[in-house]
Structure 1
Amino acid sequence: MSSHADCPLCTTDGGEVVWRDAVMRVVLVDDADYPGFCRVIWQDHVAELSDLDATSRAQLFDAIVVVERVLRARLRCDKVNVASLGNMVAHQHWHVIPRFRDDAHFPQSVWSARQRDVAPTLLAARQALTVGLAEALRGALAQSFAPLASRP
């Protein structure tokens, strides 16, 4: 991974790593309001999606889709937001965020003003759905990105 001393995604993992290969990693973000919040992070310091070649872009989007599918299946969320802003951290990474109609910010983005408080019991129930999520993500990503020669 090329390193930029001032880039937090070059100097830290950016969350709890659940899967990594030579070009990207998937992390779980510690966000109490959004259990299951993930990031798909390109390993090399690349600021813009258009800086990646077509094969790399396809790999990145394939990983985002795998993460989204696992989140939908495991968390039974109402929506999944996928966003790449890069305004604060100019390192190619995508936020994959499970959303619920009654979450703290819905229907706005998670970076907008809060719309409501969410009962701790509801957040605890959503957090309980994340038990085994890391393993499910790891398995799905490993299967999707297994070397072609080893696929059945």
Structure 2
Amino acid sequence: MLLWSDAHWRVVRVDDAGFPAFYRVISQHHVAEFSQLLAPERQRCMGLVCAVERTLIEQLHPTKVNLAALGNVVPHLHWHVIARFDWDSHFPQPIWGARQRDVPAGAAARLRIGLAELDAFVAGALALA
């Protein structure tokens, strides 16, 4: 779900029932590696990643926020920003790792606020970033 974009970047919330507070900061231009960006572009990218991370921390109080820029399957620069909780199905393992437990009633129901409200906070932070 697209939350915010400009000429160079877009931010989406990933539709993942197990990890509902999962966002991606994606380059609008094809670049495979972070180091291929010019210094101002790298700063802008990290400013956006930090805005999403800070919002997740302030609104959800997660146990940890995971940041990753893998691109092994799709070699197009994008950052994963994922709120993690000690109750989530995989914690402390990566979300791509082995399941550790079931989450009764689903992960979104365990969040401090609803996804629509969270998305609005994230979009607002990005508008100011």
What's the secondary structure of 1:97's corresponding residue?
strand
Q: Does 1:94 align with 2:79?
A: yes
What's the secondary structure of 1:132's corresponding residue?
helix
Q: Does 1:126 align with 2:111?
A: yes
Q: Does 1:105 align with 2:80?
A: no
Q: Partner of 2:121 in structure 1?
A: 136
Distance of aligned partners of 1:121 and 1:47 in 2 relative to their CA distance in 1, 3 Å threshold: closer
Structure 1 runs of 4+ with >3 Å offset: none
Q: Does 1:22 align with 2:7?
A: yes
What's the secondary structure of 2:116's corresponding residue?
coil
* Aligned CA-pair RMSD: 1.4
Q: Does structure 1 retain, via aligned residues, the 8 Å contact 2:59–2:112? A: no
Residues in 1 aligned to 2:107 and 2:69: alpha-carbon distance in whole angstroms: 28
Q: Does structure 1 retain, via aligned residues, the 8 Å contact 2:17–2:106? A: no
- Aligned-residue sequence identity (percent) comes to 49
Q: Partner of 1:46 in structure 2?
A: 31
| TM superposition score normalised by structure 2 | 0.94
Residues in 2 aligned to 1:121 and 1:42: alpha-carbon distance in whole angstroms: 31
Gaps spanning 5+ residues in structure 1: where? 1-15, 145-152
Q: Which structure: larger Rg?
A: 1
Offset, 1:105: 0.7
Q: Does 1:84 align with 2:75?
A: no
What's the secondary structure of 1:131's corresponding residue?
helix
Q: Does structure 2 retain, via aligned residues, the 8 Å contact 1:28–1:37? A: yes
